[in-house]
C-alpha cells in the first residue's frame, strides 16, 4: 500500500510539473518565457552530462563541445548554405553524435582524472577550432543571424517543452534499463562488473555517445533559440558550468542536474541584474553546497528519506 502510494506520488509530481510548465507562459512576460526556455535547454544538457558523470562515473570537462558543435552545424548550414530547417536539425544532431562516437574511441578506456584531462583537451581542441577556423565559424565574431523558425517566444517555448519532456523520458528510460544499471555497476566497481563478464569499455563508450547525442539536441535548440553561436559556448568555462549544474543539483539523479541548470541560469540572469558580483554569490552557493550537501542538493533529499 505504501509502495503504491509512493508510485502514485512519483507519477503525480512530474505530471504536475509538466502541467505547470505548459500552463504558465501566457501569464509571464516574454523575458521570463525566454528564461524558462533557456532553463529547459540547459536542463537537457545537464542531464546528458549526468548520464556520464552521475551514472557512469566519468567526469567529462568537454561536454559543452558537443552542444557547441551541434549549434555551429545548425548555424553554418542555416546561414552559409541556407539549408532547410529539418536538414539543419538532423545534421546538428547527427554531426554532434558522430563526433561523440569518434571522441568516445579516444576516451573510453581511461577513467577518473585521466578521463577528465583527455575530455578537457578534446574540448579545447573544439574551442580552438571554433576560434581559428575563421572561414567557416567566423572566429571570434561567431555566427549570427540564424533565421527564426518559430513565431513568438511562446511557440518556441512549447516546442522546447515537448522536446524537454521527450528527452527526459528517454533518459529516464535509459537509466532504469538493464543497461543503465550496468553503468551504475561500473561506477561502483568496474573490476566486479568485468568479472561478471560485462564489456565495460563498450558500456562506457555507448554511454559517452548517448550523452553526446542528447547534448547535441540541446545544442540545436540553443542555436535556434539564441540565433547566435560563438566560441564561448564551447570553451572550458561553458563545460565547467554544465559540470557545476550537475554537481550542484546532485549527480546520478537526473532531476537534480535539471534543477541545477535552472538555478544557475536564474542566478546568471536575475542576480546579475542587481549586482555585478554575481559570480561571488554563485561561488558562495557552491561552497555552501559542498559543505552542506556534498552529493548535491537533490541527493540531500534522498539521504534524509533513507534515514527516515
- Site residues (CB under 8 A) for another protein? 29-31, 34, 134, 138-142, 144-146, 148, 226-228, 230, 232-233, 268-269, 272-273, 276
Closer to another protein by Cβ: residue 14 or 142 = 142
CA distance 56 to 33: 34
Q: Which of 269, 21, 267 is nearest to 157 (CA)?
A: 21
Shortest spacing between CB 31 and another protein, in angstroms: 4
Find, among 99, 84, 71, the residue nearest to 227 by Cα.
71
CB of 144 to another protein, least distance (A): 5
Closer residue to another protein, CB minimum distance, 105 or 134 = 134
The least distance separating another protein from the CB of residue 46, rounded to whole angstroms, comes to 17
CA-based end-to-end distance of the chain: 18
Q: How far is the CB of 284 from another protein (least distance, A)?
A: 17
Name which of 140 and 188 has its Cβ closer to another protein: 140
**Residues linked to residue 228 through DSSP beta bridges, in sequence order:** 144
Alpha-carbon distances, residue 53 vs 56, 90, 156, 216 (angstroms): 6, 26, 30, 17
Expressed in percent and rounded to 5, the helix, strand and coil fractions of the chain are 80, 0, 20
CB of 268 to another protein, least distance (A): 7
Using the minimum distance from each CB to another protein, give the nearer residue, 141 or 177. Answer: 141
Residue 36, Cβ density class (10 Å: 0-12 exposed, 13-18 middle, ≥19 buried): buried
Q: How far is the CB of 249 from another protein (least distance, A)?
A: 21
110: helix, strand or coil = coil
Helix (H, G, I), strand (E, B) or coil at 231: helix
Q: How far is the CB of 66 from another protein (least distance, A)?
A: 17
- Our CB check for another protein shows the closer of 68 and 252 to be 68
Nearer to another protein, 89 or 143 (CB): 143
- Residue closer to another protein, measured from CB, 11 or 279: 279
Residue 186, judged by CB atoms within 10 A of its CB (0-12, 13-18, 19+), counts as: buried
Amino acid at each position: 500500500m505504501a509502495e503504491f502510494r509512493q508510485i502514485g506520488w512519483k507519477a503525480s509530481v512530474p505530471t504536475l510539473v509538466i502541467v505547470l510548465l505548459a500552463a504558465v507562459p501566457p501569464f509571464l512576460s516574454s523575458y521570463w518565457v525566454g528564461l524558462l526556455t533557456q532553463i529547459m535547454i540547459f536542463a537537457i544538457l545537464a542531464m546528458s552530462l549526468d548520464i556520464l558523470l552521475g551514472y557512469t562515473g566519468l567526469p567529462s570537462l568537454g561536454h559543452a563541445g558537443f552542444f557547441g558543435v551541434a549549434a555551429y552545424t545548425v548555424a553554418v548550414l542555416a546561414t552559409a548554405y541556407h539549408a532547410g530547417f529539418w536538414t539543419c536539425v538532423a545534421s546538428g544532431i547527427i554531426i554532434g553524435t558522430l563526433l561523440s562516437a569518434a571522441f568516445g574511441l579516444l576516451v573510453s578506456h581511461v577513467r577518473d582524472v585521466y578521463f577528465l584531462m583527455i575530455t578537457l583537451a578534446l574540448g579545447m581542441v573544439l574551442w580552438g577550432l571554433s576560434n581559428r577556423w575563421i572561414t567557416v565559424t567566423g572566429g571570434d565574431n561567431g555566427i549570427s543571424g540564424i533565421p527564426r523558425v518559430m513565431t513568438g517566444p511562446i511557440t518556441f517555448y512549447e516546442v522546447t517543452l515537448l522536446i524537454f519532456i521527450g528527452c527526459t523520458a528517454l533518459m529516464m528510460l535509459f537509466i532504469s534499463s538493464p543497461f543503465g544499471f550496468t553503468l551504475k555497476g561500473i561506477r561502483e566497481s568496474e573490476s566486479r562488473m568485468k568479472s561478471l563478464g560485462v564489456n565495460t569499455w563498450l558500456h562506457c563508450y555507448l554511454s559517452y555517445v548517448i550523452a553526446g547525442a542528447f547534448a547535441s539536441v540541446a545544442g540545436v535548440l540553443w542555436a535556434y533559440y539564441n540565433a547566435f553561436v560563438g566560441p564561448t559556448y564551447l570553451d572550458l568555462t561553458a563545460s565547467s558550468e554544465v559540470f557545476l549544474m550537475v554537481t550542484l543539483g546532485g549527480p546520478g539523479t537526473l532531476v537534480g542536474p535539471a534543477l541545477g541548470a535552472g538555478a544557475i541560469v536564474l542566478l546568471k540572469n536575475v542576480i546579475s541584474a542587481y549586482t555585478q558580483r554575481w559570480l561571488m554569490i554563485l561561488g558562495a552557493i557552491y561552497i555552501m553546497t559542498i559543505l552542506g550537501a556534498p552529493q548535491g542538493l537533490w541527493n540531500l533529499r534522498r539521504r534524509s528519506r533513507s534515514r527516515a
